[in-house]
Amino acid sequence: MTVASIIGGGVIGGGWAARFLLNGWDVRVFDPDPEAERKIGEVLANARRSLPGLSDAPLPPEGQMTFHADMAEAVQGAAWIQESVPENLGLKHKILAQIQAVCDAGAVIGSSTSGFKPSQLQEGSNAPGQIVVTHPFNPVYLLPLIELVPSPANEAGFVEKAAEVLRSIGCYPLHVRAEIDAHIADRFLEAVWREALWLVKDGIATTEEIDNAIRYGFGIRWAQMGLFETYRVAGGEAGMKHFMAQFGPCLQWPWTKLTDVPEFTDELVDLIAGQSDEQSGAYSIRELERIRDNNLVAMMRALKAQDWGAGAILKGHDARLKAGTELVATAADLTEPRPVLTCARAVPLDWTDYNGHMTESRYLDAFAQSTDRFMELIGCDAAYIAAGGSYFTAETHIRHIDEVHAGARIEVRTQMLQGAGKKLHLFHSMYEGARLLATGESFLLHVDLTTRRSCEPGPQVLEGLALMRAAHGALPYPEGAGAAIRRP
């Protein structure tokens, strides 16, 4: 198992730990804080309920997390070492020197710093090419952006090696080509933050009104198109040139105070803190984190359905996960005398309801995915459907046996009860581990998509059905099959 070492277990370090752990890495944590294990445990609990649900493919088995009182013990043998200690250059130099004294020469040492340049971090190092900036965004376990900032001391192959590791855990490594204070994203955040401070100080807007201006307006646009593409669309058919010609002169107007910042007096701090408490003080930090995670997962999953923005990163990661997993059945399983594994995934946050467990419509969703996979296995794949043949579901019956919650890893195993002529009768069983959650029984008819009427399947599907009949013909009839809701 590949090992990642996390040095510093605060909010950011804990997020890194969760991201690596849930993508199958073993994680070793070093943090002298006696509360580190509890704090990271709480971050991990949030990650377990939210991150797996971003994927429509099964994540690899979770790695093992261990906590270490000795930094050398934590970093020896690690392939990736992530430093997330406070933003103090002297402290970072001290920690990085201690890491390099004992770590493997080929390990990547990434720093979560939001302000220091890699060349600053590399000062005094005997192996400066081993250290890069890998600046994440909170929550690290959900947001894919990592600013990967090298210096001239880092070889191109080393930078690409670091980028590939980041891609393998579902991140988007943004290669910052030149060192610059605060990298790229934080420069934008700093500019907006400065302007927001003036708006509050001058009594123009409250903290809540500023947040509303972002989240109800341009923040949603930026989430899926960024800045320049948003403005290109705003230029209409004439595009970016028209937009710049129309709005470029505004840059000469005294709209902002971005070159200045109000003095952080006690009065200003109290004003902003008071407004912030009034705005969201009814929620604990953990509650706000879960609300944030719910919203991020819903937005990114919606973007994934469109293969756009951050959703495209998720879709690409799903493809890598599917290519690397052997969980879901392949055509070779058609000849095995056991129900086939047709679905393996986590329960997304948006599959849960007001009772805190998976809502009944999503059981049908999962079973429908299983039916689709079964159809592919017997030859009713995309090409077959495009040629005019498919199956339509005529009847479905679901039994809800036990509840399941967000983040849980579920599997569906499918037994064919009948597969002859036009008729296909399937029985799905959903599990979390060994615990049976639900069964779904489906009766389908093969149809001609041109006439929309039932008909005999084509030769490739008939061959797949014959293999499955031979494999499943001797299996016992499953408990609950053929059941109906009893009359009172």
Output the pTM of the full model. Answer: 0.81
pLDDT, position 331: 67
150 cis-preceded (ω within 30 degrees of 0): no
Are the C-beta atoms of 109 and 127 separated by less than 8 Å?
A: no
Q: How far apart are CA 334 and CA 378, in angstroms?
A: 8
pLDDT, position 322: 77
Alpha-helical (H) ranges within 117-250 are: 118-121, 156-168, 185-201, 207-213, 219-225, 228-234, 239-247
Pairing verdict, β 435-448 and 453-454 = antiparallel
Tens of pLDDT, residue by residue over 200-235, are: 999 999 999 999 999 888 888 888 888 888 877 777
Are the C-beta atoms of 239 and 232 separated by less than 8 Å?
A: yes
Closest CA to 185 of 85, 257, 114, 113: 114
- Class level of CATH domain 326-472: alpha beta
Q: How far apart are CA 367 and CA 167, in angstroms?
A: 30
Q: What architecture does CATH give domain 185-282?
A: Orthogonal Bundle (1.10)
Tens of pLDDT, residue by residue over 80-113, are: 999 999 999 999 999 999 999 999 999 999 999 9
pLDDT, position 347: 93
Residue 347 CA, chain-centre distance (Å), reads 13
Tokens of 38: 């509890």
Pairing verdict, β 80-83 and 108-111 = parallel
Residue 229 CA, chain-centre distance (Å), reads 24
Binding-site sequence positions for NAD(+) = 8-13
With H, G, I as helix, E, B as strand and everything else as coil, classify residue 235: coil
pLDDT, position 250: 66
Looking at CATH, the fold of the domain delimited by 3-175 is given as Rossmann fold (3.40.50)
Binding-site sequence positions = 8-13
Mean pLDDT, each 10-residue run in order, the chain (488 residues): 94 97 97 95 94 89 96 97 96 97 97 96 96 96 96 97 97 95 90 91 94 88 83 77 70 68 81 84 84 88 88 89 65 83 91 92 96 95 96 96 94 96 97 97 97 96 94 93 81
pLDDT, position 310: 87
| Domain positions in the chain | 3-175, 185-282, 326-472
With H, G, I as helix, E, B as strand and everything else as coil, classify residue 273: helix
Q: How far apart are CA 55 and CA 344, in angstroms?
A: 10
Rounded alpha-carbon distances, angstroms, from residue 337 to 141, 236, 461, 467, 468: 40, 60, 19, 10, 9
pLDDT, position 218: 87
Measured CA angle at 457 (ends 451, 459), to 5 deg: 130
Q: What is the largest CA-CA distance in the chain?
A: 81
Q: How far apart are CA 38 and CA 16, in angstroms?
A: 16
Buried b (16+ CB within 10 A) or exposed e, 330-344: eeebbeeeebbbbbb
